[in-house]
Amino acid sequence: MATTFRRQRDFAERLREVKGMAAPTSAKHVLFDDKTVKWVWSLEELMLFRDMWNKGLHIQTIATALKTNKRSIALLVMDQAENKKIKQRKTGLFGKDA
């Protein structure tokens, strides 16, 4: 039997009743909401990133060279891999230094 909840509070109250759990304070989670992420990259930065990635450098080394953080580099790795600009490497995300 499907139940429709008109408000988030209705859902939270019902969840407590059914499962004996504390109600969630929010039904939404924003990824990296309070984190610094570099979203825009120049072509020069992308070329430098790809070169360092192909050389097997650790993502912290890449992040330092590109003046950003490991989180941004990890996201760039995912983007570039999905767009077939880089290949998976045997040494993984952290490179030879891991």
The answer to whether residues 42 and 21 belong to one domain is no
The answer to whether residues 95 and 82 belong to one domain is yes
The answer to whether residues 12 and 41 belong to one domain is no
The answer to whether residues 3 and 25 belong to one domain is yes
- In terms of residue numbers, what domain contains 17? 1-29
More confident residue, 55 or 9: 55
Residue-wise pLDDT tens digits, 64-75: 999 999 999 999
- Other beta carbons less than 10 A from residue 11's beta carbon: 16
| Banded model confidence at residue 1, pLDDT cuts 50, 70, 90 | very low
The answer to whether residues 53 and 70 belong to one domain is yes
Residue-wise pLDDT tens digits, 13-64: 766 676 665 556 667 878 888 889 999 999 999 999 999 999 999 999 999 9
> What pTM did the predictor assign?
0.68
The answer to whether residues 51 and 12 belong to one domain is no
| Position 92, amino acid | G
The answer to whether residues 19 and 36 belong to one domain is no
The answer to whether residues 56 and 82 belong to one domain is yes
Q: Could you give the CA distance from residue 95 to residue 39 in angstroms, rounded to a whole number? A: 22
